[in-house]
Amino acid sequence: MAKLPGAKKPELSELGRVRDRISFLYLEHAKINRQDSAIVVTDNRGTVFVPAAMISVLMLGPGVDVTHRAMELIGDSGLSVIWVGERGVREYAHGRALNHSSKLLEAQAKLVSNVKSRVAVARKMYQMRFPDTDVSGLTMQELRGKEGARVRRIYREQSQLTKVPWTRREYDHDNYEAGSPINRALTAAHSALYGLCYSVIVALGASPGLGFVHTGHDLAFVYDFADLYKAEVTIPIAFAVTAEYGDDDDNQDDLGRRTRLAVRNAFADGKLMVRMVKDLKTLLGDDEQPVDADIVNLWDDRLGLQKFGVSYREFDGGDTA
């Protein structure tokens, strides 16, 4: 077989850790190819080379053409890819995890499958939002009510601070433009946050669909996880951008893009990603020990984990007492 051009497939140890990567890159109406270990992005303004291993999530919007060779590089680099709608407000498809381990996924599945442990993880998430209040004795209904009151208060405070009128959160999934400027800005900001949360979750090998508070959706855990950071990050940004551009008719069509860029700038120092990695491992009970990559074992109900790739002899079914 002829040798393919370009750089060799990187070893896992050579790739940047998710906490050290740039948060996300949104592209639309562009052609994506590869040159060695770089993604080549070309549009009517020119060509840009993007190091694949330094991006956390690539958001591909409408009008993007991507080559097979580019997708090969993206997969080898552990770069999460999500195909999204215009302005990045919907997600249609995604790529593979970075760490190649099922350790966190197994822990997550175990926790979400037991009522007591599921409630315990949900309380952990609410406790992160109420650091000065002990929520260990509250029911899920009480926790939801407490969280609802907190979010309504934050909306009111941001409205008073920025002078942006606020009534309630409204979003028509099928008609983004129908929303008020602040609701469109919130949608754009939250979508960017969902992309980053999704990237961290899948890069560490957890499931975006096994939620503890949200359920029944393939992104349920993404919504759980993003709720930890909205009040601190995306809600203030959405109100600030709307206050600056929302009343200018010339900027209405650009409001989503400006909001997304503001969110990306807020992510730029990488501190939120470091925090997300730590929070995720804390929620799922990870001991922070390094995980051996590309290790596949066989499961046995009596003998525990067995080596993969071994030609085992036929079991004779003898006395096992």
Residue 77 falls in which region: left (phi positive, over 0), alpha (psi -120 to 50) or beta: alpha
How many Å apart are CA 160 and CA 155, to the nearest integer?
9
Q: Residue 142 annotated as binding? A: no
CB of 92 within 8 A of CB of 84? yes
CB of 207 within 8 A of CB of 105? yes
Q: Residue 249 annotated as binding? A: no
How many Å apart are CA 292 and CA 286, to the nearest integer?
14
State the pairing for strand pair 297-298/64-66.
Answer: unpaired
| Cβ burial, residue 200 (10 Å; 0-12/13-18/19+) | buried
Q: Residue 214 annotated as binding? A: yes
Q: CA 170: distance to chain centroid?
A: 23
Binding residues: 147, 214, 227
Binding residues for Mn(2+): 147, 214, 227
